[in-house]
Amino acid sequence: MPVQTKLMARRKRPLPLLENVEIIDAGAEGKAVARVDEKVLFVPFAAPGDVADVQVYKKKRHFLEGRITELKRASEFRVEPQCAHFGLCGGCKWQHIDYAYQKTFKQKQVKDSLDRIAKVTYPAIKEIIGAENIYFYRNKLEFTFSDRRWLTTLDPVAAEGEPLETRGLGFHLPGKFDKILDIDQCYLQKEPSNDIRLAIKAFAIEKNFSFYNAREQKGLLRNMIIRTSTTGDLMVVMIFGAENREAIEKIMGHLAEKFPQITSLMYVVNTKKNDSIYDLEVHLYKGKDHNLEVMQPARPDRKPLYFKVGPKSFYQTNPEQAQKLYQTAHDFAGFNGDELVYDLYTGTGTIALFIAPSVKKVVGIESVEEAVEDARKNAAENGIDNVEFHAGDMMKLLNEDFIAGHGVPDVLLVDPPRAGMHPKVIKQILQTAPEKIVYVSCNPSSQARDIALLDEKYRIEKVQPVDMFPQTHHVENVVLLVRK
């Protein structure tokens, strides 16, 4: 048999159906974990304690991936998911796990990262700070229009779904840029989010407006962003894939009439090949150009903080838990009022402004110029004058000249992206050697890697996980590092 024919035959060999597999743990990316023949088996939408038959759909040298075909014995951790789209939508992969156990597994994720990656000594991890609201907690969702919605099976190697000759408005299927799961009800954002989404879809179908086709890159209705706020403000941003003034006016007018509670109604025309709107003009159709968010100060003797959140602004998507996260970072630092604080990766300056009343001065550094502009505006709006913000690449800006010009910080507060800090930034931190580092992270693995590098001069004093995203595997973690 020719070599090519042999390879083709090998590829077509069916992958095994594994019977009575016991799920033993919660793993990366929200997938549960089992072990079969000394290999790790990842199973989405399973729960530790399940016993199930699992169809393997991916086989690699060191691991397998599979899906449950039959649940033989349900885990004690299992609950009935609320959302009808669970198992297809990739947004809330842990809805089937009781929330008390979700918190347990997230706490374990932090511990495993410190044990396996950081490999340093640390004190007992504080009990994770859970969320009071485990549904309807997000203040921002982005939906996508599609000229064909998709029915999919749970089998990733099946036909990948069959398109229906109808239009849809919802979320991208995991890993699929051109396939949209039509959403009836989403449990992530409070009303009138669902009502607005369903109403605009029905109106567009009634008027026969075209929905976007991601492959052909054409169609009028492309995306929709809905932002709610703790003050009751409501923002809707429509993104159109074509410049059709008459159609845009009808759609925006319909939204304004049907939902008078919208306080910020805007639209964007995006004819680019990607969905990003950060380089595009936002047109204000009705109302004000921002939502107003409020956060209680770290010190009860100070007035609340208010933040203007525009259509392109970043703001923590779970504001209730953000309050707890920032309070933890503030309390870990143990400020006495005389400190110079550097806030690295400051974003729009939210945490810098939160801690500012408790310290002498805060210097914020952020790579995104627009975010720094928002930070400066928010500082002015709140009458906070002991903060300053600088835009630039962290590796280049945070150097000896910058520190000489602004002073050696007593406390360093860092909240980097999921990838963590660049080794050059860590090297500069070690050279600067502030007394304390408060490290806030949305990725315990990259945080643990960075802590291992910082171990040269710092020891872990406190560890506090915070659950920002119930029904998902994501967890935030705050670590206090003190100079040895």
Q: Which residues are the active-site residues?
A: 442
C-alpha dist (Å) from residue 254 to 205, 236, 247: 13, 13, 11
The two tokens of residue 94 are 């842990």
Residue with tokens 């890159």, as numbered in its chain: 217
Q: Residue 441: how many CB atoms within 10 A of its CB?
A: 25
Q: Rounded CA gap, 147 and 129, in Å?
A: 42
Q: Rounded CA gap, 68 and 154, in Å?
A: 9
Residue with tokens 């500012």, as numbered in its chain: 356
Q: Rounded CA gap, 484 and 478, in Å?
A: 19
